Structure 1
Amino acid sequence: MIKTWSQYSLTTKVLVGMVSGLVTGLVIRTFLADSFFVAHYITDGLFHVIGQIFISSLKMLVVPLIFTSIICGTCSLSDASTLGRLGAKTLLLYLFTTAVAITLAIVAGLIVKPGVGANLEAVSTFTPEEAPTISDILIHLFPDNPVEALASGNTLQIIVFAVLFGIAIGAAGQPGERIARIFDSLNAVMMKLVALLMNIAPYGVFCLMAKLFTTIELSAIASLAKYFTLLLFVLLFHVLVTYCSLLKVFTGLSPITFLSKMEDAAMFAFSTASSNATIPVSMETTTHRFGVSNQVASFTIPLGSTVNMDGTAIMQGVATVFIAQAFDIDLTISDYLSVILTATLASIGTAGVPGVGMVMLAMVLQQVGLPLEGIALVMGVDRLLDM
């Protein structure tokens, strides 16, 4: 019996959209690269518009979903010490996995030596945005204007304000209960909106992938094949070994079952290259597929999308070793320890949006005195690796 399109699972539809978009983009790049009509009306027109509408729709949900879900989760915890324990355990786990991630990246880089013999003739001048200091990151966790934090989408500030607001609701007695019911209703509506948006996901992913592969420089991958392959290997190793080991040891759950149920979130993260944009899908997956309570999911997922930036940390670790080797600069053990500490703390201030890892990489390179021009070496393949 042949299934109709509507009968396939969301994961299958997104995968079909992803592969179809990739093939379409490569076909356009290979055979229709000189076509004015295709370039302006299909690639930069139809594909660009639909893809950006899809991304904007996901981002549209992030702030209200984080705000309402964290308030609901926090105010439902009658004991403030419970929230404190949950927060402390979550933050420690995130910082631990990030430290492990960048340590793996540095060790792998030192073993494989991806930068030895690299051709630096093509290096262009690169002026990175100014990276924030660690003290600035810690100070800016607390919003001086919560309305501005909500308007600008500052995830960490929104989380801090929502947690404090939720605690106040829980402590306010009967007036707080009335406010809590309102936020419970808002949160239910937001989750329904997420479910509705998932219907257009395959088409949005198709357009994003099609446009990306009409512009990406495949030659850059060939010239940086060793770096590209090593970074992919460390990313996969961290997911399949580090994460799955922690999952099995602390929960006893099957990693295979876990990964299969997280497939929707993984697809969205890959196609959008944004952990923030994937928050709505991750929330729905953990609460509906895994049965995680909303008070836990609403706190840990938004926090993890900003603090637990292990992929960015791995990129920074491999890129630091690669750039040091490419410029024939020897780093000491203390330099590498400094990179581990800086990248772990810097991940707290890294927004979950495409390309922001380059800004944090500049901060890490400055910490150990490596030339910032080295960032230009890895920029050609950053978009694919970011995904």
Structure 2
Amino acid sequence: MNKDSSFNIGMLLALVLGIAGGFLDFPPVTAFATLISKLFVNMLKLISLPMIFLAIVSTLTRMTTLAEARYLLRRILKYTVLTTLIAATVGLAIFLAVKPVGSGGEAPLPMEGNYLSFLTKIIPENPIAPFLENNVLGMAFIGAVLGIAILKLPKEKNALLSNFFGALFEALLKITSALISLMPLGIFAFTIQFVESIREHSEKLEQLLLYGLCVVGANLIQGLIVLPLLLKLKGHPPLKTARAMLPALSMAFFSKSSNATLPLTLECAKNRLGVSDKTARFSLPLCSIINMNGCAAFILITLFFVCSSQGISLTIWQMVPWIFLSSFAAIGNAGVPMGCFFLTSAFLVGMRVPLEMMGMIFPLYALFDMVETALNVWSDSCITAVVDQEVRVTTKQVVG
């Protein structure tokens, strides 16, 4: 507990100093922050892709049977789809409550070619390409296929490969532990850049205040009401869960990448929240790829906002299908910075809606991306905690 308290105090101090440094506007401090944040993010990205691959492979190979893997997968997918659909629905409700009344013709039908092309990358042409192209879905596919294949090998060969990938994963966790100790320095650098970005674009922030309130409000409702309610219904104390995951949530907020935050999320879930190693190593990497609550709300609200600004009015019956479209687009998002922004732009291009308004939204997206990523990691943590509890209850019932 003393170690955790010192770590949290260090992060708070780094945050305060970062805010002061951002308002100071001293070039050497800015240059130092730029260098540190770049190195920090590069290191996180360096270990995050191998982390996802090795976590999936090593976890699958440790499963007793394929039935066990299917059991976990069904529960993870159930809560992922449920929470993402709720996030999009909350986004629609908030938009309808505060959006200006638009006028215009019928909205054009969306063309899904761009998104379908994105989905074809799930199966890569060769096993190296996903790592070179940062294709998270393709890499996860290779890891899952390899893990299942190893699981079907004879016992001796299965044990050999299982131990090999497990040892690689443990080695990567050692690197992660060392990096975590330097996190306050990263928070300091990220905060300076964040404050400077806000200072430079204050006029545009005022112009898009209502839109920003819709996006941030949808994320806050999902994070502070919907997900805690899920935890409460499943017998998990929301505040205890939030305190345990605080370092990961802080890192997600400032790094703007749920994939890059994955090593720290795993560390917090296992050592602070008490999630079993098997569940954490299976659920969190998978959730970091497909569980994007914040992205679903952003896509839906931004689409309607841009359409409204172009004089395109949509009826409620035209809006409702976008709950599902934005949700499944978010599930396919790769969990990297700017991912939701580019997905939304692709949808607007397919709908033949001018993108000028996206240029005005771009400065605000730095803040949105921070809030969304923190929400995504919080949702990953909640789903993992709930699934872990269900696994424990089922195990006790079988043993009993």
Q: TM-score, normalised by structure 2?
A: 0.83
Query: Do the aligned residues in 2 keep the contact of 1:269 with 1:275 (CA within 8 Å)?
Result: yes
How big is the shift at 1:67?
1.7
Distance 1:132 1:57, change over 3 A: farther
The aligned residue for residue 265 of structure 1 is 248
Distance 1:7 1:110, change over 3 A: closer
The aligned residue for residue 52 of structure 1 is 38
User: 1 CA distance for matches of 2:264 and 2:325?
Assistant: 30
The aligned residue for residue 227 of structure 1 is 211
User: 2 CA distance for matches of 1:7 and 1:67?
Assistant: 29
How big is the shift at 1:105?
0.5
User: 1 CA distance for matches of 2:306 and 2:33?
Assistant: 35
The aligned residue for residue 305 of structure 2 is 322
Distance 1:88 1:282, change over 3 A: same
Within the candidate set 139, 143, 160, 1:158 is matched to 139
The aligned residue for residue 116 of structure 2 is 135
How big is the shift at 1:131?
8.6
Query: Do the aligned residues in 2 keep the contact of 1:20 with 1:206 (CA within 8 Å)?
Result: yes
Secondary structure in 2 matching 1:22? helix
Instruction: Look up the equivalent residue of 1:317 and give its one-letter code.
Output: L
The aligned residue for residue 197 of structure 1 is 179
The aligned residue for residue 293 of structure 1 is 276
Query: Do the aligned residues in 2 keep the contact of 1:116 with 1:326 (CA within 8 Å)?
Result: no
How big is the shift at 1:65?
1.4
Distance 1:201 1:131, change over 3 A: farther
Secondary structure in 2 matching 1:277? helix
Cα deviations by residue, 1:227-271 (Å, 9 ceiling, x for unpaired)? 22232221111012211122222x311111111111111100111
The aligned residue for residue 18 of structure 2 is 21
Instruction: Look up the equivalent residue of 1:70 and give its one-letter code.
Output: I
The aligned residue for residue 174 of structure 1 is 156
Query: Do the aligned residues in 2 keep the contact of 1:305 with 1:352 (CA within 8 Å)?
Result: yes
Distance 1:289 1:131, change over 3 A: farther
How big is the shift at 1:134?
4.0
Query: Do the aligned residues in 2 keep the contact of 1:61 with 1:190 (CA within 8 Å)?
Result: yes
User: 2 CA distance for matches of 1:309 and 1:190?
Assistant: 25
User: 1 CA distance for matches of 2:88 and 2:150?
Assistant: 39
Query: Do the aligned residues in 1 keep the contact of 2:55 with 2:169 (CA within 8 Å)?
Result: yes
The aligned runs of 1:83-162 (5 Å cut-off) are 83-113=69-99, 115=100, 133-162=114-143
How big is the shift at 1:54?
0.7
User: 1 CA distance for matches of 2:78 and 2:351?
Assistant: 25
How big is the shift at 1:175?
1.3
**Deviation larger for 217-226 or 198-207:** 217-226
User: 2 CA distance for matches of 1:134 and 1:208?
Assistant: 31
Count residues in correspondence: 358
- Stretches of structure 2 that go unaligned for 5 or more consecutive residues are 103-110, 371-400
Secondary structure in 2 matching 1:103? helix
Instruction: Look up the equivalent residue of 1:189 and give its one-letter code.
Output: A
1:343 aligns with 2:297: no
Cα deviations by residue, 1:179-238 (Å, 9 ceiling, x for unpaired)? 211222222221121111012111112112213322431222222222222322211110
* Aligned-residue CA RMSD (Å): 2.3
Secondary structure in 2 matching 1:328? coil
How big is the shift at 1:353?
1.7
How big is the shift at 1:137?
3.8
User: 2 CA distance for matches of 1:152 and 1:255?
Assistant: 37
How big is the shift at 1:361?
0.9
Within the candidate set 51, 70, 75, 2:56 is matched to 70
Query: Do the aligned residues in 1 keep the contact of 2:21 with 2:29 (CA within 8 Å)?
Result: no
Query: Do the aligned residues in 2 keep the contact of 1:194 with 1:281 (CA within 8 Å)?
Result: yes
Q: TM-score, normalised by structure 1?
A: 0.86
Distance 1:334 1:366, change over 3 A: farther
The aligned residue for residue 107 of structure 2 is none
Cα deviations by residue, 1:15-38 (Å, 9 ceiling, x for unpaired)? 32123212211221xxx5xxxxx2
Query: Do the aligned residues in 2 keep the contact of 1:66 with 1:302 (CA within 8 Å)?
Result: yes
How big is the shift at 1:61?
1.2
User: 2 CA distance for matches of 1:211 and 1:132?
Assistant: 36
Instruction: Look up the equivalent residue of 2:89 and give its one-letter code.
Output: T
User: 1 CA distance for matches of 2:274 and 2:4?
Assistant: 24
Distance 1:102 1:95, change over 3 A: same
Distance 1:156 1:192, change over 3 A: same
